[in-house]
Amino acid sequence: MPAKPPGKGSPGKGSGGAAKGKGSAKKCPICGKPATEASRPFCSERCRDVDLNRWLSNSYAIPGRAEADEDQD
């Protein structure tokens, strides 16, 4: 029996063998519906616009240290 070529392991081991479209579809971060290719990672242009509006209106924030802590050395 000939040897297997290098890098060609058994299926499903480290080769990203998960089948696409079988329960692995990403959900829209705004409404939870399945994302579409045209507006990925969102399901529609509406959800894309909702996300953009949240960014522009400073609804999203990254937690950090209080400003008083930064002044102390």
Residue 64 or residue 13, greater confidence: 64
- Answer whether residue 43 is part of any domain: yes
- Answer whether residue 12 is part of any domain: no
Burial class (CB in 10 A: 0-12, 13-18, 19+), 28: buried
- Answer whether residue 34 is part of any domain: yes
Compute the distance between CA of residue 26 and CA of residue 21 in angstroms, rounded to an integer.
9
Q: Scanning the structure block, which residue is given the tokens 């002044």?
A: 71
Structural domain span for residue 45: 25-59
Can you give the pTM of this predicted structure? 0.51
What pLDDT score was predicted for residue 4? 55
- Answer whether residue 40 is part of any domain: yes
- Answer whether residue 10 is part of any domain: no
Q: How many structural domains are present in the chain?
A: 1
- Answer whether residue 51 is part of any domain: yes
- Residue 55's pLDDT band (cuts 50, 70, 90): very high
Question: Which residues, 6+ apart, have CB-to-CB distance to 35 below 8 Å?
Answer: 25, 26, 27, 28, 41, 42, 43
28 with 35: CB under 8 angstroms? Answer: yes
- Answer whether residue 64 is part of any domain: no
